Chain A
Amino acid sequence: MLKRFNLKAWLLLLPALSLLIAFTHWPTIKSFWRSVTWARSDAAPAKFVGLENYEILLEDPVFWKVLENNFWYALGTVPTSIALAIMMALWVNSKIRFTGLLRLAFFTPTILPMITVANIWLFFYSPNIGLFNQLLAMIGVTGPNWLGDPDIALSSLMIMTVWKEAGFFMIFYLAALQTLSPELFEAAKVEGASAWRMFRKITFPLLMPTTLFVLINALLNAFKLVDHLFILTKGGPNNASNLLLYYIYETAFSFLDSYYAATLTVIMLLILAITALVQMLLIDRKIHYR
């Protein structure tokens, strides 16, 4: 009896499980295996080299540079997009006119494909004909070379990413806000609580499950989204805006070094797994679920 029940459960799991194994777990294992082998080219048989690829990685200055960039990139984009998303959600959730239009306006960047957006922003950022510098010129400021100056290229990418992502996260917050019971706020109002106090003591804590979800997504995106690099900077100038995933792409498809690319991939998987674990274990405990 028990056996038949199990079989049914497994059968139900089978479609999802086979997809996961074929496209997630098996490639992961293969990447890991590839990261401990090496061959002169893809045509030659690979041989086991132990941790040699990882030793090369430790001495690779570009690897450390992209890691550092990714750290700043995550730090620069994640909290800002979340804060903006909450602000926008609160705004379009309030009873003002034209909320429909406003919601649409905030959401527009999200529905545009990243490549399209990057192609448009490439011209926004252009030092001589670009929108930003022309606006700055109107108030008498000489704008910077947004993508060409190694000191600000990464920040320029961050600005665009925040613009692109905040609207997406807003949707989750908006949905969450609409499930909050109005009685809580009425009671707080009766008690004479200020708007800020209501936000801090009621809204924000009740939004925490959403924040965790958004935080994980935003952090993963900070590592996963590199489409715009292809158009905007190609990681330049001199790796100033290079990110880990783009470096993996370069290694695999421009340098044709699938072994080193696998090594970098394993590192990226580790980073992502650890971040997700830390978030789940530490923050999850402090969240109030209803």
Chain B
Amino acid sequence: MNKFSKYLATAGIASILGISTVASADTDLTMYYPVAVGGSLTKIVDGMIEKFESQNSGINVNAIYAGNYNDARVKALAALQSGQPAQLSVMFSIDIHALRNLDAIVAFDDVVSTDAERKWLDSFYPALMENGKADGKTWGVPFQRSTIVMYYNKDMFRAAGLDPEKPPTTWAEFAEMGKKLVKKDSSGNVEQWGAMIPSTGYPYWMFGALTKQNSEVLMNQAGTETYFDKPGVIEALEYWQDLGNKHAIMPSGVIEWGTLRQNFLDGKTAIMWHSTGNLTTVKNKASFDFGVAKLPGNTELGSPTGGGNFYIFKKSSADEKAAALKLVKFMTSAEQAAHWSKATGYMGVGPAAYETDTLKAYVKEFPPAAVARDQLTHATAELSTHEAGRVRKFLDDAIQAALTGQMSAKEAMMDAQKQAKSTLRRYQ
């Protein structure tokens, strides 16, 4: 309907202006875009594309919204295989190795031609580029990007006698303050938890934060080795276990990703670790005074980045690639990135976005919007290896096994490392 009406509108305007559309001069782009649920995100992207088309009359963009990151990748690749057009897509930043193994994407270094374009490629936050680089080239340009931040309920901080402007900055403080924030009823049942770190959905992502905070990374840049069995990594998992068992500031066992935000909004937990992508929703729905802070650290601060990058498909003509690059440049330009960040809570992808009036005013009015950016200096790449799906699942399973008490942290991690090593052997 939307596409059709857009077509009608375009045709209408064209006929009014007396323009006869010359088909051969136009470049058609098909872009796959991951949207889990329709609604606001779709509208925002649609609006940006319309603006792009009005500025670039020779390019028509057809955006196909395709479920979550997995769905978008599956659909885009299926379209390519069956010969249907697809020139670019936003896909999971950590799919880079898989997409390269499939020989599906081109490096942006091979598409840019002018010095201005090369400069543009250098204009992003370096931390956001980590998941987009391999073999010295850039394959993914950051767009829908996030980090994990700490949301906390300031009212509860006040009620517990804590300073609402001083959220915990170290692991020790986190446990200490968490204990003060736990509230029990007369029969000893917990009514309000100190904190919740989700351990379903994307356990490896949360774990990436804990390991970085303990000065460890989970894999090498080439994605051929994992370091799950390092003492510092095991220690990070033990700390996570302790939050539930020893310090009892979190429910023990696993914590559901999907319902966590509601738990926080309903006042069942004083602190939650969650994606910055939730910021706008929390802002609109929280009935209490809340704050957003960087995650606490042990030996250093840290969080992995997350989210989706732009990729350009190899199977497109030179004209299409140039047009796709134009679109990516437009979408990541300071003005658009700022608009996008304000509308969604995802990050502005480069420093220039935060220099725009839009974001300057927004950050002034709503300081939490800058926390994700400030945290970027402590950020690390999200777990991304060859055979990423499998390796991720080894780690996810190990984390859940440890948190539910099926295995000790050490056993679980040794096990995951063994499995990952044998899976990755073929790529070394």
Contacts and interface: CB of A to CB of B under 8 A. Distances in A.
Interface string B286-309: 000000000000000000000000
A26 interface: no
Contacts of B62: none
A129 B268 contact: yes
A126 B396 contact: no
Contact of A238 (B255, B259, B406): B406
Interface string B236-260: 0000000000000001011110110
Interface string B370-406: 0000000000000000010110110011101101101
Contacts, number: 93
Contact of A237 (B262, B263, B393, B401): B401
Nearest to B402: A238
B389 A236 contact: no
A108 interface: no
B220 interface: no
Contacts of B74: 253
B259 A233 contact: no
Interface string B267-300: 0110000000000000000000000000000000
Contact of A126 (B193, B263, B390): B263
Contact of A142 (B189, B397, B403): B189
B40 interface: no
B101 A43 contact: yes
B268 A128 contact: yes
B200 interface: yes
Contacts of A140: 187
Given A43-B103, A126-B256, A238 B262 contact: no
A168 B78 CA distance: 35
A123 B392 CA distance: 26
A178 interface: no
A254 interface: yes
Interface residues of B, number: 39
A40 B427 CA distance: 10
Contacts of A69: none
A237 B403 contact: yes
A233 B135 CA distance: 36
B262 A40 contact: no
Nearest to B427: A40
A147 interface: yes
Nearest to B185: A137
B17 interface: no
A149 B253 contact: yes
B23 interface: no
A128 B263 contact: yes
Contacts of A250: 389, 393
B266 A129 contact: yes
Contact of B404 (A40, A41, A237, A255): A237
Interface class of chain A by DSSP: loop
Contacts of A126: 256, 259, 262-263
A150 B404 contact: yes
A262 to B, nearest CB: 16
A239 B400 CA distance: 9
A171 interface: no
B263 A41 contact: no
B256 A238 contact: no
Given A254-B70, A256-B389, A237 B103 contact: no
A216 B70 CA distance: 32
B262 A123 contact: yes
B315 to A, nearest CB: 12
A231 B256 CA distance: 11
Given A40-B426, A129-B268, A237-B200, A147 B256 contact: yes
B47 interface: no
Contacts of A147: 200, 256
Given A42-B102, A145-B251, A233 B200 contact: yes
B98 interface: yes
A234 interface: yes
A148 B200 contact: yes
B201 interface: yes
B17 to A, nearest CB: 45
A251 to B, nearest CB: 8
Interface in A192-251: 231, 233-234, 236-239, 250
B187 A148 contact: no
Interface in A121-137: 122-123, 126-130, 137
Interface string A252-271: 01111100000000000000
Contacts of B269: 128
A145 B253 contact: yes
A231 B201 CA distance: 9
B259 A41 contact: no
A238 B397 contact: yes
Interface in B342-362: none
Contacts of A128: 193, 251, 263, 266, 268-269
B101 A129 contact: no
Interface string A146-187: 011110000000000000000000000000000000000000
23 contacts: A40-B101, A40-B426, A42-B102, A43-B102, A122-B256, A129-B259, A129-B268, A130-B259, A145-B253, A147-B256, A148-B199, A148-B255, A150-B400, A236-B200, A236-B396, A236-B397, A236-B400, A237-B253, A237-B404, A238-B400, A238-B404, A239-B397, A255-B387
The 5 closest A-B pairs by CB, nearest first: A254-B389, A237-B400, A148-B254, A255-B389, A128-B268
Given A148-B199, A234-B201, A237-B199, 8 more contacts: A127-B251, A128-B268, A236-B397, A237-B400, A238-B398, A238-B406, A255-B393, A256-B98
